[in-house]
Structure 1
Amino acid sequence: MNLAVFLLGMALASLLGLGRGSMRRYLVAAALGLLVATPTFPVVEAVGYLSRETLGPTLLALLPLTPHLALVPLGALLALLLAHFGGRAAGVGGVLGGGLALASLLVFLQGPAHLVRLKPLPGLMEGVVALSLLVPFALLAVWRRKQAGLWLPLGVALALSTFAWLNSPQAHTYFPRMEGYYKLILPAEPGTEEKLVAAYNQGLEKLNRVREEIGLPPLKPIRDLTGLNEGRLPQEVAQAGYRLLQPQSTAYGNVALLLFLGVMMGSGIWLLFRPKLAQPDDLRTGLVLALVAASVFPAFDATEFDLGKLVKGWPFLVNFLDRAWPPNLAQPQSGIYPLQSVASEMLLTLEIALVGTLLAALFALPTSFLAARNLTFQNPLLRVLFYLMRGFYNVDRGVDTLILALILVAAVGLGPFAGVLAMAIHSLADLGKLYSEAIENVDKGPIEALESVGASGSNVLRWAILPQVLPLFVSYTLYRFEINFRVSIVLGLVGAGGIGFFIKGAMDAGHYDQMVIGIIAIVIVVNLIDFASSWLRSRLV
């Protein structure tokens, strides 16, 4: 498995090299990715008594236990250093640094499970959070050097106050996991494992009597902690701060490190034979690629992305298709007419989207002029209204339509009225922002011409601004109607009426042959709306 991931990285580098682009940027990206993954990505698992006690130590946390793992970041640093010189020197750095790092990592991953102890590092995560707040102020100080004396002290003050508060008992009440979150992995004291095994075997008779009373099979004595049932430590051992480190367990950090190493060595090999595959901006481009890759790996892990689950669930999909086809259009003998219900609910869905979009447009049209920067910058009162309106738009857009629907269903009850209100409230902010940006981008020539002859503000609005923005307003409103139609389908799932409500009811009852009619109707109507809306927008803009 480990070698397969590494070879996948090599193959990826080979494919990239066929494009004859800069290979040095991929070498730099892989090396920077290794440096980012070393302190942040979990590499293996360290289990305790309960599943929630399982830890994913990073490569940096494992250094006190296995110092040779330092060759991984050192190999990346060597590759970066030689990449600066370019040519074959960069290739040597990629191959040599990647080879040292790969050998060190594989030796560790093939090792046996053993007992380790944890040493929390208090204040580390608190410091990371505080520093992250300082970064925007530091960037502002670099960008606006004349105001650096303002931004830097402000950022330092915010970071220090945040760090002090996060280390207080009050903060630990709100964020209990932050205290001592980052833990170093240290070897257990000599003789500790033998004592724990002896204590475990001595209490085994009493434990088996309890297990027998509740119908569980008895446990056998063990020779070492690796022989524990299901690989879990005894409760008293875990509570004492020990964990069972399992190097051969799989974590996404392990996959990321091996993939980065494969790309780094593959890029290095390309540079050995084609040293001119480089560009002047490789460091900057490699940094961007490394940051993107470093954000993708944790995202896949957090979402539990696993194609194996789809393979296991394939029989359910086959069963669903068998039960959903052919569609059950009507059952006159039972008084059930699904096709008629779908037509009625689809019409209701269109009406929900239409009314919600219309209400949003009616309120967004006048408020968008107050949110346009070019119409409010000369008057202090209008400038205040500008910030208030933009703030309202941002807050409103931050609350999803589905959340609004759930709240409004509780307030006004089930039915389409809640869906219309939720859609109108959220669409108001979206349309208002689009309208205001269209107003800000109007041609200033007609405005200045009317103002030069003494025209009033209403006449400037009527004859200089509205003719330019109305086609865009109509286009944006039509596009929002398309979105709202799709949203109204989802709103039906939470009781706001429409075709979504019909589909949810059919699924809950197991009538898949009726539900599929709703799905087919949605596909047809979505395409019709899309074609019609695109044709209208092409005529208007």
Structure 2
Amino acid sequence: MSLALFVAGFVLASLLGLGRGSVRRYLVGAALGILVASLAFPLAGAVGYLSREALGPTLAALLPTYPLLVLVPLAAALALALAHFGGRLAGIGGLLGGGLGLFVLLGFLNGPAHLVKLRPVPGLMEGVAALALTLPFLALAWGQRKRAWLWLPLGVALGLGAFSWLNSPMGHTYFPRMAGYYKLILPAEPGAEEALVRTFNEGLLELNRVRQEIGLPPLSPIQNLSDLGEGRLPQEIAQAGYRLLQPASLGYGAVALLLFLGVLAGTGLGLYVRPGLEEPSDLRQGGVLASVVLSIFPAFDATEFDLGKLVKGWPFLVNFLDRAWPPNLAQPQHDIYPLQSVASEMLLTVEIALVGTLLAALFALPTSFLAARNLTFQNPVLRLLFYLMRGFYNVDRGVDTLILALILVAAVGLGPFAGVLAMAIHSIADLGKLYSEAIENVDKGPIEALESVGASGSNVLRWAILPQVLPLFVSYTLYRFEINFRVSIVLGLVGAGGIGFFIKGAMDAGHYDQMVIGIIAIVLVVNLIDFASSWLRSRLV
């Protein structure tokens, strides 16, 4: 699999070069990706006794045990340095970097599992967090060099203060996992693995007796720690700070490194064959590409993306479809009429969205004028109101409708009223922001013409601003109604009434043939509202 990942990256780089555009940017992005992944992404797995004791050491953390791994980032750094010169020299750097990195990495990943010792690095993660807080101020100091005297000391002071607090007992109380989070992987003492294997085999009789009492199968004697059938270390070994390093268990860092190395070698070959495939902005664009791609790998890992789970769950989907079709429209003999219930709940869902959108629009319309920069920055009082209103919009938009619905259901009880309130409160900020931006973009000509003849502010608003923004206001309100209809379906799942409440009840009862009627109705009504709203907006704007 490791070699297949490298080949996939190589093929991807070859396909990118077919467009005859610059490939040096991809070489730069791959080299930067290797450098960052070596420092921050887990390369392999290391297990202890409990699942929470497992960790994924990075390539940098493994250097005390595998010093040759340093050649991987060094090869990437060489390729990055030669990329600055461009042409065939950059191509040679990519080929050498990709080939050397692959050779060293495969040597590690194909190695056997063995015992290692952990050594936490105190203060490292605290320093990284403090640096992350400092970077925005450093960026401000670089972008606004006239005010660097303000931003630079402020950022440094904030970073030092954050580091001191995070590294204190109070900081570790609130962020306990940060203390010693980054651990170096050291080789176990000579003879430690043999002694632990011997100790494990000697206590195997008593261990199997306990396992038999609790209904677990017995364990067999082992020759080395790799023979542990459960893939875990004995408890006493793990508590002593040891872990079983398993190079073959690829972390997402290994996947990223192999793909990057493949791209590095592929782009290197492309540049060597056609040295003109480069542009002056390659270094900057390569950095942007690396940033985007590097954010994807942790995201896939954090979301536990695994198509294998979908394959395993396929029988459930087949069973669901079998039980959901054909739809059960009515059972008169049992006095059950799902189609009628769906029609009633769908109408209620539309009404929830309609009332919630209307209330939001009524409140957002007057407040949007206070949130428009071009109408408020000529007066200190109005300027203060501008900041307050924009701050309210930002806070309101930060609280999701579903969270508001959960709170309001607890306050006013189950039913559509909680859904209406939640939808209206959240929609105020969205509509207000759209309205205010429309006001800020109005044509200044009519405003200046009325002001030149001494018209009052209300007349300017009535005759110069409103005629320009009202069609946009109506369009934005219709668009928000579409969104709120979809949101109201989800709100029903938490007890706010409507078709979502019907679907949840049918699912909980296992009546999939009734639930599918609600799904079909949602699809039909969503398309109907979308076409109607699009037609109205085309007539208004």
**CA deviation vs aligned residue, 1:201-246 (integer Å, no higher than 9, x gap):** 2322222222222222222222222222312111111111110000
Mean alpha-carbon deviation: is it higher for 440-449 or for 38-47?
A: 440-449
Q: In the alignment, which residue of structure 1 is the partner of 2:262?
A: 262
Matched position secondary structure for 1:61: coil
Q: C-alpha separation between the residues in 1 aligned to 2:371 and 2:224?
A: 70
Deviates more, 1:446-455 or 1:333-342: 446-455
SS in 2 for 1:184: strand
> Secondary structure in 2 aligned to 1:229?
coil
Q: For 2:304 and 2:225, how far apart are their aligned partners in 1?
A: 29
Tell me which amino acid in the other structure corresponds to 2:227: G
1:116 alignment partner AA: V
- Counterpart residue number, 1:70: 70
User: Secondary structure, in 3 states, of the residue corresponding to 2:118?
Assistant: strand
**Partner residue of 1:406?**
406
- Give the match for residue 191 of structure 1: 191
SS at match of 1:347: helix
In structure 1, the residue matched to 2:34 is: 34
Which residue matches 2:516? 516
Q: Which amino acid aligns with 1:535?
A: W
- Which aligned pairs between 1:101-500 and structure 2 lie closer than 5 A? 101-500=101-500
Distance (whole Å) between structure 2 residues aligned to residue 487 and residue 454 of structure 1: 47
Distance in 2 (CA, whole Å) between partners of 1:212 and 1:10 is 52
Per-residue deviation, 1:402: 0.4
Moved more, 204-213 or 280-289: 204-213
Cα distance in 2 between the residues matched to 1:500 and 1:508: 12
Structure 1 residue 20 displacement after superposition: 1.1
SS in 1 for 2:217: coil
Cα distance in 2 for partners of 1:280, 1:252 equals 32
SS in 1 for 2:466: helix
Q: Report the secondary structure of 1:248's partner residue.
A: strand
Counterpart for residue 530 of structure 2:
530
Q: CA–CA distance in 2 between the matches of 1:214 and 1:334?
A: 49
**Take 1:27 and 1:449, find their aligned partners in 2: how far apart are those partners?**
57
Aligned partners of 1:218, 1:307: CA distance in 2, in Å?
Answer: 33
Which letter does structure 2 place at the counterpart of 1:319?
N
Q: Distance in 2 between matches of 1:455 and 1:334?
A: 71
Matched residue SS, 1:389:
helix
Alpha-carbon deviation of 1:196?
Answer: 1.6
CA–CA separation in structure 2 for the residues paired with 1:140 and 1:307: 43
Equivalence for 1:95: 95
**Equivalent residue number for residue 59 of structure 1:** 59
Q: For residues 138-195 of structure 1, what are the alpha-carbon distances to aligned partners after superposition, in whole Å with 9 as ceiling and x for unaligned?
A: 1111111111111100000000000000001001000000000000100001111122
Could you tell which deviates more after superposition, 192-201 or 530-539?
A: 192-201
| Aligned amino acid, residue 146 of structure 2 | K
In the other structure, the counterpart of 2:8 is: 8
Is 1:23 paired with 2:23?
Answer: yes
What is the TM-score of this pair, normalised by structure 2? Answer: 0.99
Unpaired runs of at least 5, structure 1: none
- The separation in 2 between residues aligned to 1:217 and 1:347, in whole angstroms, is 58
The amino acid of 1:450's aligned partner reads L
RMSD of aligned alpha carbons: 0.9
SS at match of 2:470: helix
In 2, the alpha carbon distance for the partners of 1:255 and 1:78 equals: 21
Q: What TM-score results when the alignment is normalised by the length of structure 1?
A: 0.99
* Paired position in structure 1 for 2:505: 505
Secondary structure of 1:300's counterpart equals helix
Amino acid at match of 1:9: G
Query: 1:44 aligns to what?
Result: 44
Q: Shift of the alpha carbon at 1:326? A: 1.1
SS in 2 for 1:45: strand
Residue 332 of structure 1, CA deviation: 1.1
CA deviation map 1:448-475 (0-9, x unaligned)? 1111211111111111111111111000
Q: Deviations over 1:244-263 (max 9, x none)?
A: 00001121111110000111
Paired residue secondary structure (1:494): coil
Q: 1:7 & 1:345 partners in 2: Cα distance?
A: 54
CA distance in 2, matches of 1:330, 1:212: 55
Tell me, in whole angstroms, the C-alpha distance in 2 between the residues paired with 1:219 and 1:276: 63
User: Can you give the 5+ residue segments of structure 2 that lack an aligned partner in the other structure?
Assistant: none
Displacement, 1:137?
Answer: 0.8
- The answer to which of 71-80 and 204-213 deviates more is 204-213
In structure 2, give the amino acid aligned to 1:133: L
Letter in 1 for 2:206: K
The 3-state SS of whatever aligns with 1:255 is helix
Other structure's SS at 2:249 match: coil
Q: Secondary structure at the match of 2:60?
A: helix
1:460-496 residue CA offsets vs partner (Å, 9 max, x unmatched): 1111111111111000000000000000000001110
CA distance 1:159–1:373, shift in 2 (3 Å): same
Amino acid at match of 1:69: L
- Supply the AA of the counterpart residue of 2:410: A
Partner SS for 2:323: helix
Alpha-carbon distance between aligned partners in 2 of 1:341 and 1:392, rounded to the nearest angstrom: 39
Structure 2 CA distance, aligned partners of 1:250 and 1:85?
35
| Cα shift at 1:65 | 0.6
Determine the C-alpha separation between the residues in 1 that align with 2:41 and 2:215: 41
- Report the Cα distance in structure 2 between the residues aligned to 1:219 and 1:99, rounded to whole angstroms: 43
Distance 2:298 2:493 in 1: 31
In structure 1, C-alpha distance between the alignment counterparts of 2:227 and 2:314, rounded to whole Å: 36
Give the Cα–Cα distance (whole angstroms) in 1 for the partners of residues 502 and 244 of structure 2. Answer: 51
